[in-house]
Structure 1
Amino acid sequence: MKTIDDAQVYLPELWATHARFSPDKEAVVCGDVRRSWRDFNNNLNRIANAVRAHGLGRGDKIAVLMGNAVETLEVMYGIVKAGACVVPLSGLLTAKQIEGLINDSDSKLVIASDGVRERLETIRGNLSNIPENGFISAGFDGAGWLSFEQFVENADTGTPSVTYAMSDEFNIIYSSGTTGLPKGIVQTHRARQHWSYSNAIEMRFHANTRALTTTALYSNGTWLMILPALFVGATVHIMPEFGAKAVLKTIQDEEITHTFMVPTQFIQTLADPAMNTADLSSLESVLCAGSPLRADTKTDVIRRITPNLYELYGYSEGFGSMNRPHQQSAKPTSVGTPVMGFDVKIIDDDGNELGVDEVGEIAGTGAGMMKEYHNRPDATDAIVWKDHEGRCFLRSGDIGKLDADGFLYILDRKKDMIISGGLNIFPADIETIIGENDGVLDVTVIGIPHEKWGETPVALVIPRSGATEQAVLDWSNERLAKHQRIAAVRFCDEFPRNALGKVLKRELRDSWHAENKP
């Protein structure tokens, strides 16, 4: 008797389906490059076949250091189509950092653009797993490099003969650590498929979606636009680099329906004079993630850009919650309820589950959870918490609470919380108030040592024209609770940020301590 297979469609196979049935439709656009689904899929196949001809495949790691371009997307997902695991890395890293991450990931091949060539050449001898013929140059020629054209020269565009499994490793994303070696977050085909369909459904991606990416392609958050769009056979527009005027022009000219920006990008876009005349009526879904939107910025986004605002809180290890447009008015300070397929708990330091409105650490579970931290079993063990039913949750390191309706509220990063005179102070609360000052473009609050109180908050501010530090300090302390009052305001030109615009407060604290040594 014949039996029916337990069929499963994987993302690379789904992409091929779009190419088959919508071959002439645009899949990816960046600048003057406009790639059809037919050509996009053919290039994925060509790269996948080249990877396999190079002797690499299932379970092998391949590092990619390339800028925002159509070719970068093809390289990353061509690697996945080969059954291998892509390791996208930032081209902003130092040579030493690149060396650490390539070695930590056990990458056997590196594909890089000209911008990182010099740094890679200085560490070439220290990359223990990369063979002599394992350095692929994208867009340049050089001694010791195999050009990308040579790499794919004899590879055909036919579908590679690859069998996938949901537990196979899709990618390794490195967390944005500011000291030491960041942890490699291993995500499987199962996790990435959940990421694709859950976000597509939540944010209403469809075949006619035109999704705009404004952040770096190596960043996990950028894939919030890419994977759902590719999942439904839509079109991805890639910005070579962010610029407020360019964002507004692209939305208008390309009739963008979906986009994702981080808070600092929203702030810059709202402040640009082009905002006053831009036609943004095509927008159906605008996502904010990376860090919370200040209340004043959120009001301006909804009023001036679109009411179709989604706010996502999540961490790359595997959890997400979302405040959707229809929830914004009722729960404006919440980050919403879990994205479909996830659940959330609040726990104390001893691992006890807390109740309604009780403050503790956020822990999440769901189909999008990572497999592990790569080669870091102790770190993997430390992040796991199990509830009374034995379900595995991942600790976030963030402080929050759940209200009676199950809506999640983020109070702050556990490590950023300030303890002053025995009282817990959440910088986000202070930032919300200071952000309402007309002289403040952006603000972040850190804790510094204090002889009497242990710690005290100070505000670092990117000012608007005409503001003074003393005026912002006085205005703020008139409105803050006594235990929240800031000891000082310091103006800055910019803040150090990670790929998704999140302020790196550890660097700011380190700089403050270095500048204020007794």
Structure 2
Amino acid sequence: MTLTAESPFTTLPDLIADHARQRPQHPALIQDGEQLDYTALDRQMDRVAAALQRDGFKPGDAIAICGLNSINYACLFLGALRAGVVVAPLAPSSTPESLLTMLADAAARLFFVDQATEQALQGVREQLPGQPISLDNSSNNSFSYWLADGQPEPVNIPPELSFNVIYSSGTTGEPKGIVQSHAMRFAHITRSLSFGYGPESVTLISTPLYSNTTLVSFLPTLGLGGTVLMMGKFNAERYLTLAEQHKATHTMLVPVQYQRIMSLPDFGQFDLSSYQVKFSTSAPFHAELKADILARWPGGLVEFYGMTEGGGSCMLPAHLFPNKLHTVGKPLEGQDMRVIDEDGNELAVGQIGEVVGHSTAMMTGYLNKPEKTAEAEWYDAEGKRFIRTGDVGRFDEDGFLTLMDRRKDMIISGGFNIYPSDLEQVLRQHKDLADVTVIGVASTSWGETPVAYVVPQAGKAPDPEAIREWFNAQVGKTQRLTRVILATELPRSAIGKVLKRELRDQFQADNGVLA
């Protein structure tokens, strides 16, 4: 079977079965010296599907997985899809209470975990839906023992059947399950043909499988017959070693990973000439870092901007538009993106407002949360449905989108709107700083006032008050920092987003309301 952009709908499990017939010994998954070819992957998927059917699972039922990347994790995820079972991949960084909430919301009848997650759940074990199954075979209730030996019964999977439920805000805030269909995932696979994915692709993955960031590279690679090279945890030096050894052609990295790789003193000693395209998404990607990657790392660089919820997405092929590195690119073909004000009125080119988007890849809705789904929607005058991004930005005359900040992170100080990204851009110019972020904190005089958290360069010990004075001399009166706080590192999610809410909560706890 040769896929094209116009191919009719085919499930990912069927695509993998076809690869097993056509290229049985071609490597599908590699991690830490272990390798599964397509024959072995297809067989493991059958064993998973047969085990789920043995346990009474029907199409549309759900399982949950929580652990670090592993070959067992990948086989379980893909095998569940073969049985028509919906997968809810959960973040190991979630609190036990959040995991319980997500398990109940997804109605997951089986829960698969690695050893670290199982230990973290000891305090809530009695509240779990049955005994967890050990993905890494670290307990008696092991994945290997659970697997069936027979063949599964064939299952009809319609395009609209749910593929996965991905939870947003799993580490803090209320988890919301984003439902995505098999049709949506198939569209991702066929779209990836334009980026050179195919049977000879080697995609190096170091972000977690519970993240949509990872899945948009992981799934197309396997759907198109390539090889996925997985890392359990990211390490910049190890990443480059694997890339050189396996001649990686594609990768998906978040900006903080690019930053750590490019800052390695011996970066230039690695042979990265096999790369065709590198991707990035999920967090702000600064123009200076993009330029450095383009100058020193072979292959194209493509930034995606969008949400797991769907709606519109933008793409910036940075290697083709070096004068637009400050943007996240233009909306993808067939996608409609606009900017609206606080009252829901559409704004003109150049005006700043909330970004909303419409596409064929929009979520069905948040699982079991119709009111949250309604909050995320905006309808134009003709009744066309859009998804709110929560991001503030503007389109330029060429149709490129520049993002300012998350709407919730915008600082309103003395009636003026302050965008932390503008302040962070200035702070990054300080030679002694390796990482920066700006938050708004409560102030009796101004409502909110900006505070910076900064991480010094290795071997540097800058004076925070001197940094503040240096910064305030360069900006307008309304943008001045009230305080600069030194940090050893910034709190980040597993996909590299700075957890500003944690910083705001910590500042409030330590300092209360400023004058």
| Distance apart, 1:93 and its partner CA | 2.4
Q: What SS does structure 1 have at the residue aligned with 2:350?
A: coil
Residue in structure 2 matched with residue 473 of structure 1 by the alignment: 468
Is the 1:101–1:181 Cα contact (8 Å) retained in structure 2? Answer: no
Q: What SS does structure 2 have at the residue aligned with 1:92?
A: coil
Q: List aligned pairs for 1:180-199, cutoff 5 A.
A: 180-198=173-191
The one of 220, 233, 238 equivalent to 1:241 is 233
RMSD (Å) for aligned C-alpha atoms? 1.9
| Distance apart, 1:506 and its partner CA | 0.7
Is the 1:51–1:79 Cα contact (8 Å) retained in structure 2? Answer: yes
Provide the rounded CA distance (Å) in 2 between the counterparts of 1:179 and 1:424. 26
Residue in structure 2 matched with residue 506 of structure 1 by the alignment: 501
Residue in structure 1 matched with residue 118 of structure 2 by the alignment: 117
Provide the rounded CA distance (Å) in 2 between the counterparts of 1:503 and 1:459. 13
Residue in structure 1 matched with residue 288 of structure 2 by the alignment: 296
Residue in structure 1 matched with residue 41 of structure 2 by the alignment: 40
Identity %: 37
Is the 2:91–2:171 Cα contact (8 Å) retained in structure 1? Answer: no
Deviating beyond 6 angstroms after TM superposition, the runs of 4 or more aligned structure 1 residues are none
Is the 1:312–1:323 Cα contact (8 Å) retained in structure 2? Answer: yes
Residue in structure 1 matched with residue 340 of structure 2 by the alignment: 347
Q: What SS does structure 1 have at the residue aligned with 2:150?
A: coil
Q: What SS does structure 2 have at the residue aligned with 1:479?
A: coil
| Distance apart, 1:57 and its partner CA | 2.2
Q: Which amino acid aligns with 2:473?
A: E
| Distance apart, 1:41 and its partner CA | 1.4
The one of 372, 381, 394 equivalent to 2:387 is 394
Residue in structure 2 matched with residue 79 of structure 1 by the alignment: 80
Residue in structure 1 matched with residue 315 of structure 2 by the alignment: 322
Q: Which amino acid aligns with 1:210?
A: V
Q: What SS does structure 1 have at the residue aligned with 2:343?
A: coil
| Distance apart, 1:434 and its partner CA | 1.1
Q: Which amino acid aligns with 1:313?
A: Y
| Distance apart, 1:237 and its partner CA | 0.7
Provide the rounded CA distance (Å) in 1 between the counterparts of 2:239 and 2:172. 33
Q: Which runs of 5+ in 1 are unaligned?
A: 1-5
Would you say 1:30 and 2:18 are equivalent positions?
Answer: no
Q: Which amino acid aligns with 1:135?
A: P
Provide the rounded CA distance (Å) in 2 between the counterparts of 1:15 and 1:341. 28
Would you say 1:14 and 2:15 are equivalent positions?
Answer: yes
Provide the rounded CA distance (Å) in 2 between the counterparts of 1:498 and 1:7. 37
Q: Which runs of 5+ in 2 are unaligned?
A: 1-6
Provide the rounded CA distance (Å) in 2 between the counterparts of 1:472 and 1:47. 56
Residue in structure 2 matched with residue 227 of structure 1 by the alignment: 219
Is the 1:294–1:435 Cα contact (8 Å) retained in structure 2? Answer: no
| Distance apart, 1:318 and its partner CA | 0.5
Q: What SS does structure 1 have at the residue aligned with 2:306?
A: strand
| Distance apart, 1:388 and its partner CA | 2.6
Provide the rounded CA distance (Å) in 1 between the counterparts of 2:236 and 2:158. 41
Would you say 1:250 and 2:231 are equivalent positions?
Answer: no
Provide the rounded CA distance (Å) in 2 between the counterparts of 1:476 and 1:262. 28
Q: What SS does structure 2 have at the residue aligned with 1:315?
A: coil
Deviations along 1:176-235, one digit per CA (max 9) or x if unpaired, are 25544211111111121222222x145332221111111111111111220121121111
Is the 1:111–1:138 Cα contact (8 Å) retained in structure 2? Answer: yes
Q: Which amino acid aligns with 2:19?
A: H
Would you say 1:360 and 2:360 are equivalent positions?
Answer: no
Is the 1:178–1:504 Cα contact (8 Å) retained in structure 2? Answer: no
Provide the rounded CA distance (Å) in 2 between the counterparts of 1:22 and 1:325. 34
Q: What SS does structure 1 have at the residue aligned with 2:324?
A: coil
Provide the rounded CA distance (Å) in 2 between the counterparts of 1:36 and 1:240. 19
Deviations along 1:361-380, one digit per CA (max 9) or x if unpaired, are 11111121111101101001
* Structure 1 residues 341 and 236: alpha-carbon distance in aligned structure 2, compared to 1, 3 A threshold: farther
* Structure 1 residues 178 and 89: alpha-carbon distance in aligned structure 2, compared to 1, 3 A threshold: closer
Residue in structure 1 matched with residue 161 of structure 2 by the alignment: 168
| Distance apart, 1:273 and its partner CA | 2.2
Is the 1:322–1:335 Cα contact (8 Å) retained in structure 2? Answer: yes
Residue in structure 1 matched with residue 4 of structure 2 by the alignment: none
Would you say 1:336 and 2:311 are equivalent positions?
Answer: no
Q: What SS does structure 1 have at the residue aligned with 2:40?
A: helix
Is the 1:361–1:414 Cα contact (8 Å) retained in structure 2? Answer: yes
Q: Which amino acid aligns with 1:70?
A: I
| Distance apart, 1:511 and its partner CA | 0.4
Provide the rounded CA distance (Å) in 2 between the counterparts of 1:54 and 1:83. 14
* Structure 1 residues 347 and 369: alpha-carbon distance in aligned structure 2, compared to 1, 3 A threshold: same
Residue in structure 2 matched with residue 69 of structure 1 by the alignment: 70
Is the 1:286–1:306 Cα contact (8 Å) retained in structure 2? Answer: no
Q: What SS does structure 1 have at the residue aligned with 2:21?
A: helix
The one of 193, 206, 209 equivalent to 1:214 is 206
Is the 2:249–2:275 Cα contact (8 Å) retained in structure 1? Answer: yes
Provide the rounded CA distance (Å) in 2 between the counterparts of 1:472 and 1:202. 46
Provide the rounded CA distance (Å) in 2 between the counterparts of 1:450 and 1:419. 11
Provide the rounded CA distance (Å) in 2 between the counterparts of 1:180 and 1:282. 41
Residue in structure 2 matched with residue 439 of structure 1 by the alignment: 432
Q: TM-score scaled by structure 2? A: 0.93
The one of 197, 202, 218 equivalent to 1:205 is 197
Is the 1:178–1:506 Cα contact (8 Å) retained in structure 2? Answer: no
Provide the rounded CA distance (Å) in 1 between the counterparts of 2:59 and 2:159. 12
The one of 133, 137, 147 equivalent to 1:140 is 137
Residue in structure 1 matched with residue 3 of structure 2 by the alignment: none
* Structure 1 residues 212 and 160: alpha-carbon distance in aligned structure 2, compared to 1, 3 A threshold: farther
Residue in structure 2 matched with residue 3 of structure 1 by the alignment: none
Deviations along 1:473-518, one digit per CA (max 9) or x if unpaired, are 2332233233222222111111221221101111101101111137
